[in-house]
Chains A and B, each alone.
Chain A
């Protein structure tokens, strides 16, 4: 079992650009959540996807959007990047039935310059 995999591991973008981050959930998991972790802080919930729909959303602007595919993998898109978007972006997967605990990927380190 490969666990939760995220790509790319590191990324450097320029202000104003757009970025897409990808996540493959743990085998058998159907729910994907995305978190933003700024340096030295705890993760902040961005949104959660289940059955290809955004089910919950945290306090993030519309520049942050996502998608879940039929195979349960997911993408996080961020438009019009700001310097403050620089962070570690974490993907977590879980199983809806029984509300199992979340398993996290290694994260994607995004740097906006």
Chain B
């Protein structure tokens, strides 16, 4: 079945460092891809999405490009802030049923 694999955390960076969180997927069709963020004590918030190959999703300085050839959707940010500390989830949805399949999450810790 469909699945999502994310790099294990925690990822610890200093403020203003460059961020990459790797995400790869397995899917039989052509899924939509998402990054969600979960701040401490809060629910999940959609960070960005891409619905077809080569699409780039972006929001709040974060970017991710849908790479069909490598089945990847890596999350990047050029300069992280302490406020970016959270757990980041990569997810996919099959176009036929919209059920979300999730990665295990990557905890990001940004130190001042």
Binding site for B on A (CB under 8 A): 4, 31, 33, 35, 40-45, 48, 55-56, 58, 90, 92, 94, 99, 101-107
Q: Shortest Cβ distance from A99 into chain B, in angstroms? A: 5
- Whether the pair B46, A101 counts as a contact (CB closer than 8 A) is yes
Q: Are A43 and B46 CB-contacts (below 8 A) given A56-B97, A99-B95? A: no
Name the contact of B105 in the complex, choosing from A4, A41, A101, A103 (C-beta under 8 A): A41
Per DSSP, chain B at the interface is strand
Stretch at the interface among B37-45, B68-76, B78-86: B37-45
- Whether the pair A106, B98 counts as a contact (CB closer than 8 A) is no
- Whether the pair A42, B45 counts as a contact (CB closer than 8 A) is no
User: What 1/0 mask marks residues of chain B from 21 to 38 whose CB sits below 8 Å from any chain A CB?
Assistant: 000000000000010100
What is the interface size of chain B, counting residues whose CB is below 8 A from a CB of the partner?
Answer: 21
B100 contacts partner chain A, Cβ-Cβ < 8 Å: yes
Binding site for A on B (CB under 8 A): 4, 34, 36, 42-46, 49, 89, 91, 95, 97-105
* Cα(A99)–Cα(B102), bound, Å: 18
- Whether the pair A45, B105 counts as a contact (CB closer than 8 A) is no
Q: Among the interface residues A31, A35, A42, A55, which one has the most CB atoms of the partner chain B within 10 A? A: A42
**Sampled A-B contacts (28; CB under 8 Å):** A4-B43, A33-B99, A35-B100, A41-B104, A42-B89, A42-B103, A42-B104, A43-B44, A43-B89, A43-B102, A45-B100, A45-B101, A48-B97, A48-B98, A56-B97, A58-B99, A90-B44, A99-B95, A99-B98, A101-B49, A102-B46, A102-B100, A104-B43, A104-B44, A104-B45, A105-B43, A106-B42, A106-B43
Minimal Cβ-Cβ distance residue in A for B101: A45
A-B complex: 3 closest residue pairs judged by Cβ atoms:
A42-B102, A104-B44, A106-B43
